Structure 1
Amino acid sequence: MQLYQLKSRQFLPISKKEAWDFLSNPKNLAVITPPHMGFHILSGADRPMFQGQIIQYIVKPFPLVSTKWVTEITHVQKGSYFVDEQRFGPYSLWHHKHFIKEVPDGVEMEDIIDYKLPFGFLGQIMHPFLVKKQLQKIFRFREKKLAEMFGEVKGKTNYLKLRKV
């Protein structure tokens, strides 16, 4: 079993409350997901985020490939962090932690995703060619979109790292 981890950090010149209000609203996930992915929420985004919330959506990770994805919000510390875990979808494991903390001139947003691919050895072979590249595209789009919406913090370095764990 090969486990992978994605870490992303972005600085935004907004308040912690503004960051939380935007990021904890499940409807905003469609705003920061690349349009080519055909992201569409089916249910579960009709109220503010809470522990135990189930969100169902359709996503097209690759052209002509559509899948239903069901996540559960398993942990919430209002204003600071939340965790979503896949209950049904394309991964064997998906555990996504979202952290928001105040820093000089704004907030630091950090995402840590631990994930495992299905299909054993075949999944491991496909990771660098398909999954890793797709995740990088998604998070680069997200970084660009958030910077367009909220601005950037001068002198701070954003990062995106993917690695085997």
Structure 2
Amino acid sequence: MKIYTLHAKQNLPITLEEAWSLLSDPKNLKTITPDYMGFEILSGADRPMYPGQIIQYIVTPVLGIKTKWVTEITHVQDHAYFVDEQRFGPYALWHHKHFIKEIPGGVEMEDIVDYKVPMGILGQLVHPILVKPKLNEIFEYRKKKLIELYGEFKAPTS
């Protein structure tokens, strides 16, 4: 069983409160997801984030094929991190840790996604040519969108 890891970091010139407000509200996911993904929340985003929260989405990751994705928020530490885990969807395993911390001049956001593709060896063969590039593209889109919304981070000079 091969488990892959995606690791992304981004600094933004916003407060910890602004970052938490953005990341902890599932409704904001649509804003930072490429339009072609057809991201639509079906249910579960009507309350502030809490452990045990189930959120249902529709996504269209490849070839216009709509896929239902169900995640559970399993851990939340206010203004520090949360974890979402796929309960039903396109991956055999999806465990996504979101960390935020205050740094001089803004915040550092860090994502660590551990995931397993379905279909055994066939999935592993497709991973480097389809899955990994698609995930990298989605996280790159998010990075650019957040810069567009909040500006480029510039480390303070001493």
**TM-score band w.r.t. shorter chain:** over 0.9
Q: Moved runs in structure 1, 4+ residues, more than 6 A?
A: none
The CA distance in 2 between the partners of 1:64 and 1:103, in whole Å, is: 40
Deviation at 1:155, TM superposition (A): 4.8
Residue in structure 2 matched with residue 96 of structure 1 by the alignment: 96
The CA distance in 2 between the partners of 1:57 and 1:132, in whole Å, is: 21
Residue in structure 1 matched with residue 120 of structure 2 by the alignment: 120
Amino acid at match of 1:73: I
TM normalised by structure 1 equals 0.93
Q: Check conservation: 2:67, 2:89, Cα contact below 8 A.
A: yes
Report which structure shows greater RCO (CA 8 Å, sep ≥6). 1
CA deviations 1:86-139 (Å, max 9, x no partner) are 000000000000000001110000000000011000000000111011001100
The CA distance in 1 between the partners of 2:6 and 2:63, in whole Å, is: 23
The CA distance in 1 between the partners of 2:155 and 2:127, in whole Å, is: 33
Amino acid at match of 1:52: G
Q: Secondary structure at the match of 1:74?
A: strand
The CA distance in 1 between the partners of 2:31 and 2:13, in whole Å, is: 19
Structure (1 or 2) with the greater strand fraction: 1
Amino acid at match of 2:125: I
Residue in structure 2 matched with residue 147 of structure 1 by the alignment: 147
CA deviations 1:132-159 (Å, max 9, x no partner) are 1100110000000001111121259xxx
For 1:60-79, list aligned pairs within 5 A. 60-79=60-79
Q: Check conservation: 2:104, 2:155, Cα contact below 8 A.
A: no
Residue in structure 1 matched with residue 54 of structure 2 by the alignment: 54
Q: Secondary structure at the match of 1:48?
A: coil
TM normalised by structure 2 equals 0.97
Structure 1 unaligned regions, length at least 5? 157-165
How well do the aligned residues superpose, as a CA RMSD in angstroms? Answer: 1.0
The CA distance in 2 between the partners of 1:25 and 1:123, in whole Å, is: 32
